[in-house]
Structure 1
Amino acid sequence: MSYAGRLQLIKSVLSTLHTYWASVFILPKGVLKNLEKKMRTFLWQGQSGRGNAKVAWAQICKPKAEGGLGISSLITMNQALILKQLWRLLQNDGTSIWVDWVQQYRLRHSTFWTFNRTTGSWSWKKMLKLRPLLQRGVVYKVGDGSSFSLWQDIWHERGPLCLSYPRGPAVTGLPLSSTLSSVLQGNQWCWPASTDTDIVEIISQLPPTQPSAADRICWISNSGQYTLQSAKLLIQPTNPRVHWHGLLQGPLVFPMLVFKTLLDHFEEQGQVPMAICRLEAGHYLGKQKMACNIVVSGIHLKQSLGRRPNADNGSRTPFKLTS
């Protein structure tokens, strides 16, 4: 099987076999790393058992726009799938038996953000450790204030106020169970008068309200709803886009061939990828004249990329990857 065939098999089959379990449990990292090791070996060696990895697995797992091959990291995928379950827990719309059970028997009178009891399964404790990551992905939009906890939800930029300001309930006279509506009158905030510096700071950072609407918890995606892709981008650190990423995409491109050719070529010091064809604009493939608009061979591609950044060759024809 070719490199391209093994790459496609990894993307469509091998990297998805664990999806069900990854959406239910946070799997041990040792297990996921062992699975990735087997996929890496299969990609570079196939069934022959010969050959070495050409590039680090972390590089391969980057998106194509960042110079990778777009294979999803199993650890990243596991976390993204669990974030989906936690997102449903925050929504609490009555469509999940698991969410109903957690609300009734785990959280009870606290919220997911302030739950601090040490009881629970190993998997539940691992989920709690994802709270900082989940907090980066959700936005609390204040409406009439009837659904959000005043002290325990993250509607304020300081996070749960009962954690950043434990004396709050005693100072203000508002119990821990208070909802946000207790300090809202119409579209105006009505906090108890106080000279406490923390209260003054909280009031100075209050978000806008929409009293005619219900409270909403939104995801950071454009639609406001959770998507797996946006969660993966949240987890995975972003890297600068490479200007040659177009070489890895398109209906007539063999990504693995291009990727390997680029890796081999970049080992030469001082060489950078340039989207300029170094061959003549009208080369021939049999009787069909081509305008350098497809990758014909690895040799052609290497010659196309062999131009140094300060070379002046304006007469060359741009190397395009569109049919």
Structure 2
Amino acid sequence: MHWKTWDFLCEPKCRGGLGFRKLDIFNKALLAKQLWRIIQNPSSLVARVLKGRYFKHMDVMLSPLGSNPSFVWRSLIWSRSLLKEGLCWRIGDGKGIDVMRERWIPSKRSKLTPCELNVTVGAKVSSLIIDGSWNEQLIKNVCLPHLVQDIISAVGR
């Protein structure tokens, strides 16, 4: 006999549920955390083993699933989308960050669309920086107004 749905039981106690965790979401979060550890500590044994087998000549965030992947690798690839949602570039000099394809504005949850920036395809964030600080006049000229303040106040430029 089922008196309550699983979704109701997974609600926090303050909302009347029992506070159970949704195991698939919790599992994905833990796997994304492991993937973050691989990125942060590339010299660890697990990172070196996975790199040798699955992403020898590329970044772990760009590597394909490959042929005949292990259950571990398949699981890490499954969690990669969750990790990508939370990642944002630290600008630095901006030479390696594509303006249109990368997520580099902290307040922006997704990639920019061509109508939001009036820049050429393949332009780098470095084209918006002069002498280590933002070229505010250029940013005001090429960006829609709602993005200007977000870009100028971007963390970690």
TM-score using structure 1 length: 0.32
Residue of structure 2 in register with 1:158 after alignment: 111
- Picking from 81, 85, 89, the partner of 2:38 is 89
Residue of structure 2 in register with 1:59 after alignment: 8
- For structure 1, the 5+ residue unaligned runs are 1-51, 160-166, 175-179, 190-199, 212-323
Answering whether residue 50 of structure 2 is matched by residue 102 of structure 1, we say: yes
Letter in 2 for 1:158: K
Residue of structure 2 in register with 1:134 after alignment: 83
CA contact (8 A) 1:61 1:68 kept: yes
Residue of structure 2 in register with 1:187 after alignment: 133
Letter in 2 for 1:84: K
Answering whether residue 74 of structure 2 is matched by residue 125 of structure 1, we say: yes
Q: CA deviation at 1:89?
A: 2.5
CA contact (8 A) 1:187 1:209 kept: no
The 3 A distance-change label for structure 1 pair 183 and 101 is farther
Q: Which has the larger radius of gyration?
A: 1
1:86-124 Cα offsets, whole Å, 9 max, x none, are 121232364x32123334543234323322353332442
The 3 A distance-change label for structure 1 pair 55 and 158 is same
The 3 A distance-change label for structure 1 pair 139 and 123 is same
TM-score using structure 2 length: 0.58
Aligned length: 129
Greater than 6 Å deviation, 4+ residue runs: 180-183
The 3 A distance-change label for structure 1 pair 102 and 75 is same
CA contact (8 A) 1:144 1:210 kept: no
